Chains A and B, each alone.
Chain A
Amino acid sequence: MGAMTITEKILAKGAKLKSVKPGDLINSKVDIALANDITAPIAIKEFYAVGAKKVFNRKRVVLVPDHYTPNKDVKSAEQCKILRDFAHEQKITHYYDAGEVGVEHALLPEKGVVVAGDIVIGADSHTCTYGALGAFSTGVGSTDLAAAMVTGEVWFKVPETMKFVFNGKLDKWVSGKDLILRIIGDIGVDGALYRAMEFTGSAVSSLSMDSRMSMCNMAIEAGGKSGIITPDAKTKKYVEERGERKARYYESDAAAEYFSVTEYDASKLEPQVAFPHLPENTRGVSEAKNIKLDQVVIGSCTNGRLEDMAVAAKILKGRKAKKGLRLIIIPATPAIYEASMKKGYFKTFVEAGAIISPPTCGPCLGGHMGILATGERALATTNRNFKGRMGAPNSELYLSNPAVAAASAVLGKITHPDAVK
């Protein structure tokens, strides 16, 4: 049996094989199969079309209507109703509606639905987030998801792994978001196409769980199949406090083979900003000069967690968003919402002139709750800045971490957090 990476070990377990190697085609069991209000309606239609009657396991199929909720119009309400009816009929354990719903990739880890060692597929490209828990997780389309809802299985090609090592002490304003933006800037939006990305090194170990999740969340923006961080004491504490199943912790063998190994001196990194219209257009924030903003959004499956709210509150405390700038803050789940309220962040946000949104994907995909007009420019803590992603086709979107976003909201232009006096 050859040496394996953490990803290969998890996939071998899923396929009930002693070992796997890159390029192997395997049939694997699925621990969690996830869909949302955009992707589930197609999967549900296909589920019935093949004559299926019951999902493989009602505790393992997860449905989260988070994209167009609260429903923005009749059509989106109809789509959510398809999920609701299906969830009730199939007695789905993890179906979240109304005041229980949150942004899926923040909600599932928080609720303990995903644990270390899991194999997760989700009909949402940012399903790769759960690599931060030491799970193999990847995005699929509705059809693959429909098949897995019926069989509890999915086929994979075992990916090669690219290893990214960050050593050194991070600047206080640099987070997991900045590390992943730097990688995407270096390798491009297809730099990790078909491959797994493994993040390691002392700087990665120093990241909080929230920050590790934002890092793995954006593996897809480099074309990656998955992103993963080897579980450590922080992971175990997080998973064991909430996990509803027994976790399994894996790590890469010292002799495991990688497609590539790239090392970074993390101490030299400043906060990063992705310029329009691709996440690979990444530069240090010091290079963003005099970029005036109409809107700032802090939220999403990338950066809508409690730590992100805390950073925003720290910078906004006693300050105001620039007059006329629309600052929209979206706590990603009801628990994050409640904690933000109890910790006094909401008072800070309201006094800063921010709009506090209910948990939703909302403006991240240009859906609703903060859309840009023609020619407008925004900075967001979200994950994609494709042309027209947040609204009008010729609007402009920049991406950053929450500290840069909050500071930029105060000054009305993209700025380093230290520039806020």
Chain B
Amino acid sequence: MKIKGKVWKFGPDINTDDIIPAPRLVSTDPKELAKYCFEYDRPDFAKNVKKGDIIVAEKNFGCGSSREHAPIAIKGAEVSCVIAKSFARIFYRNSFNMGLLILESEEAVDGTSEGDTLSVDAATGKIKNLTTKKEYMARPIPEFMRNLVADGGLMASIKKRGVV
């Protein structure tokens, strides 16, 4: 699974209300939720985000609520992956369950600026900053979790692989 995209850089402790404010939780439609993704923090995000773009953030990304609307909104915005120094526990689980690829790497976050272009190999954890020509390693994602992303989430994977 290889990805290339332009970076949107965020700070620490980006919470689920930042990702998708509670008044927007009256829908579960990815496209609808994507319209309000980072509505308060980065009002330009939903308008300008392009398919394949990458979110890069400091520590504890996704803290707060258990709402799956957060990874759904990011996925609805067609972001290809989120790289952070660390993720909040529930968000981490939800992201793979929703089929959103997320990676942990302190060095990649420190070496990346807004607007850089990254290429990411989920299998090896290799992150290349094509703007600065530097390379970093994230913790590699095991195959079964990559399959969750490839299948489009836990439930789709269960169905596809005939568990139920």
Same assembly: yes
A51–B26 Cα distance when bound, in Å, is 25
Decide: A143 near B153, CB < 8 A? Known: A189-B13, A190-B59.
yes
Name the interface residues of B14-36: CB closer than 8 Å to any CB of A.
15, 17-18, 21-23, 25-28
Query: Contact between B155 and A143 (Cβ–Cβ < 8 Å)?
Result: yes
- Is A168 interfacial (CB-CB < 8 Å)? no
Other than A42-B28, A76-B26, give 14 A-B pairs with Cβ distance below 8 A.
Answer: A51-B159, A75-B26, A123-B66, A125-B66, A141-B68, A143-B97, A143-B154, A190-B59, A190-B88, A193-B88, A223-B88, A365-B65, A367-B22, A387-B17
Q: CA of A386 to CA of B15 in the docked complex: distance in angstroms? A: 8
Indicate which residue in B13, B59, B66, B159 contacts A140 across the interface (CB closer than 8 Å).
B66
Residues of B in contact with A (beta carbons under 8 Å apart): 13, 15, 17-18, 21-23, 25-28, 40-41, 59-60, 63-69, 72, 86, 88-90, 93-94, 97-98, 153-155, 158-159, 164
User: Is the C-beta of A194 less than 8 angstroms from some C-beta in chain B?
Assistant: yes
A127's closest neighbor in chain B, by CB? B66
Picked from A46, A123, A386, the residue with its CB within 8 Å of the CB of B155 is A46
Taken together as a complex, chains A and B put the C-alpha atoms of A367 and B69 apart, in Å, by 15
Complex contact B60–A193 (CB within 8 A): yes
**CB <8 Å contact, B40 and A388:** yes
Complex contact A386–B66 (CB within 8 A) = no
A-B contact pairs, 14 of them (CB 8 A): A41-B28, A51-B164, A52-B164, A75-B27, A123-B68, A139-B90, A144-B97, A189-B63, A223-B88, A223-B89, A366-B17, A367-B23, A384-B64, A388-B40
Beta-carbon contact of B22 and A190 below 8 Å: no
Query: Nearest CB to that of A71 among chain B residues?
Result: B26
Complex Cα spacing A75 to B22, Å: 13
State which residues 366-395 of A face B: CB under 8 Å: 366-367, 384, 386-389, 393
CB of B140 to closest CB in A, whole Å: 18
Task: Report A-chain residues with C-beta under 8 Å of the C-beta of B67.
Answer: 38-39, 141
Q: From known contacts A51-B159, A365-B22, A388-B17, infer whether A45 and B28 are also in contact, taking CB-CB under 8 Å.
A: yes
Q: How far is the CA of A225 from the CA of B88 in the complex (A)?
A: 10
Contact: B90 with A146, CB < 8 Å?
no
Report chain B residues within 8 Å CB of A278: 13
Report if A73 contacts B (CB, 8 A): yes
* B93: min CB distance to chain A, Å: 6
**Which of the residues B15, B66, B158 comes within 8 Å of A139, measured between beta carbons?**
B66
In the A-B complex, list the 10 residue pairs whose CB atoms are closest, starting with the nearest: A75-B26, A141-B94, A143-B97, A393-B40, A190-B60, A365-B22, A139-B66, A141-B68, A125-B66, A142-B68
Residues 270-287 of chain A: 1 if any B CB is under 8 Å from the residue's CB, otherwise 0?
A: 000000001000000000
* Given A190-B59, A389-B17, A141:B66 Cβ within 8 A: yes
When C-beta atoms are compared, the residue in chain A nearest to B15 turns out to be A386
B154 / chain A contacts, CB cutoff of 8 Å: 143-144, 147
A254 within 8 Å of B (CB atoms) = no
CB-nearest residue of chain A to B28: A42
Query: What CA separation (Å) do A211 and B53 show in the bound complex?
Result: 45
Whether B97 and A366, one on each chain, are in contact in the complex, defined by CB atoms closer than 8 angstroms, is no
**Chain B minimum-CB-distance residue to A76:** B26
Give A114-141 interface residues, CB cut-off 8 Å to B.
122-125, 127, 139-141
A residues 40-79 in Cβ contact with B at 8 Å: 41-42, 45-46, 49-52, 67-68, 73, 75-76, 79
Q: Could you tell me the distance in whole angstroms from the C-beta of B53 to the nearest C-beta in chain A?
A: 23
Give chain A nearest CB distance to B23 CB in angstroms.
6
Q: How far apart are the CA atoms of A140 and B94 in the complex, in Å?
A: 8
Complex Cα–Cα for A225 and B161 (A): 30
| A150 beta carbon closer than 8 Å to chain B | yes
Check A140–B164 contact: CB distance below 8 A. no
Q: Which residues of B contact A223 (CB under 8 A)?
A: 60, 63, 88-89
Q: Closest CB-CB distance, B142 to chain A, in whole Å?
A: 12
Query: Within 8 Å CB of B18, what residues of A?
Result: 386-387
Bound form: Cα–Cα A51–B160 in Å: 12
Shortest Cβ gap from A380 to chain B (Å): 14
Which residues of A10-54 are within 8 A (CB) of B? 38-39, 41-42, 45-46, 49-52
Q: Name the one of A45, A49, A73, A142 contacting B26, with C-beta atoms under 8 angstroms.
A: A73
CB-defined contacts of A143 to chain B, threshold 8 Å: 68, 94, 97-98, 153-155
